[in-house]
Amino acid sequence: MPNTKRRRLLVRGAASALAITLGATALAACGSSDDDGGTASGPVSLTYWTWTPGMDKVVDLWNKGQGKKDRITVTVKKQASGDTLITKILTAHKAGKAPDLVQAEYQALPTLVSNDALADIAKNVGDARAKFADGVWQQTTLGTDAVYAVPQDIGPMMFYYRADLFKKYGLTVPATWEQFAETARALKKKSPGTDLTTFSASDSGLFAGLAQQAGAKWWTTSGDKWKVAIDDAATKKVADFWGGLVKEGAVDNQPMYTPAWNKALDTGKQIAWVSAVWAPGTLTTAAPDTKGKWAMAPLPQWSDGENVTGSWGGSSTAVTTDSKHKEAAAKFAAWLNTDGDALNALAKEGGIYPASTSAQLSGAFTTPPDFFSNQADFYALAAKIARTTAPSAWGPNVNVAYTTFNDAFGAAAKDRSDFSAALAKMQSATVADMKKQGFEVSE
């Protein structure tokens, strides 16, 4: 044991000696800034769990630039996305070995905070607030004074349709959901084998986004109590709307992201998709033969003249409570998601749509995506839509609500039965789980 300790000391001594000579000028330059804790005491190396493709290249920019100056080295550990990563982070946190930085979807933040896995970095990243839309920033504070993450990418929802086939069938782009339903029915009349789209019971995030657009607030707090309102009037409206369309056969009831769905999009058996800003990437792989035939429009609205959208997807960069260099980690998180070069690289290498409002119209986002080369104003329109995103309200057991959605809505979609019964199941399962854990809940 003493041997290793000494060796570690020796290595560290050598490394810092080297760093001191190399970075002497840099230190002199920023010596007066209020860096303390991790950054001041020597070189720092951080581990970052992320699923964004090409993140290692973006992190290289940091390690060779700003990071070299601040003597903060970040190492990327590629992870699987979604709920499995949350479980992995929580397990690592239980052992006190969570990485310094993690990528987390917005809806997972309350779960992570509730497990005391995320550090409050309000002191370090407070200045970044101005770079983001209020609705986006609010998701990282959970409505408190703390800041638990820096927003990275967002997924404002939009309506995608096959422009050529809409013309062929004589359809107009629906501006309201009522028109959306009419369009679906009109299409069925003209071409019984074709569907406008499908209601997918495997995509809870899509349903949550649609409810968010309608004004739903699934989790809210008052005092020391959570209020769960998954079956509120707004969500019921959304559920009944889609349930009605599925029941009358105006839209398909099969899940998305299956080989069958890919084929339906590629062959024009489904001619529209309610999706988010990242849809071009998905369509490129799912329906390669339809390049240039799609167009994007704002999501249909619940009433004329309204201008609201929901979000599907999006994630943030958070610092864990296990990190020994929280300030250094927060500094990197802020750089990654607000620095122009970093965001450009993220867009190019990772294909993300940035949460930072200034980045939404620069660099990679001045020309439309390849797949939508026919729509020159794609990103200008996207940025305009992103500003209309309704606030979201996530709670500490989104995962329970989401898995119940899969099962309850899966069965309802299969039987083409009442969607509001499925919604009630979602509400009761979520409340039951919170009560079991000991949360104070009011319905």
Pick the binder of other proteins from 183, 282, 397, 427 (CB under 8 A): 397
Surface-to-core class of residue 273, CB atoms within 10 Å of its CB (0-12 exposed, 13-18 middle, 19+ buried): buried
Say if strands 44-50 and 101-105 run parallel, antiparallel, or are unpaired. Answer: parallel
- The region of 13-21, 24-32, 342-350, 434-442 touching other proteins under the rule CB under 8 A is 434-442
The only residue of 16, 63, 176, 321 in contact with other proteins, by rule CB under 8 A: 321
| 118, 346 contact by CB (below 8 A) | no
Strands 272-276 and 101-105, sheet pairing: unpaired
193 binds other proteins (CB under 8 A): no
Burial class (CB in 10 A: 0-12, 13-18, 19+), 105: buried
Q: Which is nearer to other proteins, 76 or 201 (CB)?
A: 201
User: What are the Cα distances from residue 301, in Å, to 160, 161, 202?
Assistant: 14, 16, 23
Q: Work out whether the CA dihedral 341, 343, 344, 348 comes out positive or negative.
A: positive
Nearer to other proteins, 174 or 396 (CB): 396
- Indicate whether 51 belongs to the interface with other proteins (CB under 8 A): no
Q: What are the backbone angles phi and psi of residue 267, rounded to the nearest 5°?
A: -100, 5
Distance CA 410, CA 274 (A): 18
Q: How far apart are CA 229 and CA 217, in angstroms?
A: 7
Shortest Cβ distance from residue 255 to other proteins (Å)? 6
Residues contacting 298, CB < 8 A, separation 6+: 158, 159, 307, 309, 381, 385, 388
Q: In the numeric block, which tokens belong to residue 259?
A: 């080989």
Nearer to other proteins, 88 or 348 (CB): 88
Minimum CB separation of residue 322 from other proteins in Å reads 12
Lay out the sheet containing 225-228: strands in order across. Answer: 219-222, 225-228, 441-442
In whole angstroms, how close is the CB of 227 to other proteins at the nearest point? 11
Contact between 410 and other proteins per CB under 8 A? yes
- Check binding of 77 to other proteins (CB under 8 A): no
191 is a site residue for other proteins (CB under 8 A):
no
Number of alpha carbons in the 13 Å side-chain half-sphere of residue 146:
13
**Contacts with other proteins, 339-378, as mask; x by CB under 8 A:** ----------------------------------------
Residues contacting other proteins: total by CB under 8 A: 47
Residue 69, interface with other proteins (CB under 8 A)?
no
Kindly write out the interface string for residues 252-271 of this chain, putting x where it contacts other proteins by CB under 8 A and - elsewhere. -xxx-xxxx--xx----x--
| Residue 84 in contact with other proteins, rule: CB under 8 A | yes
Determine, following the binding rule CB under 8 A, whether residue 220 of this chain makes contact with other proteins. Answer: no
Which residues contact other proteins (rule: CB under 8 A)?
A: 83-84, 86-87, 90, 110-111, 113-116, 142, 144, 201-202, 221, 224-226, 253-255, 257-260, 263-264, 269, 321, 396-397, 399-400, 403, 406-407, 410-411, 413-414, 433, 436-440
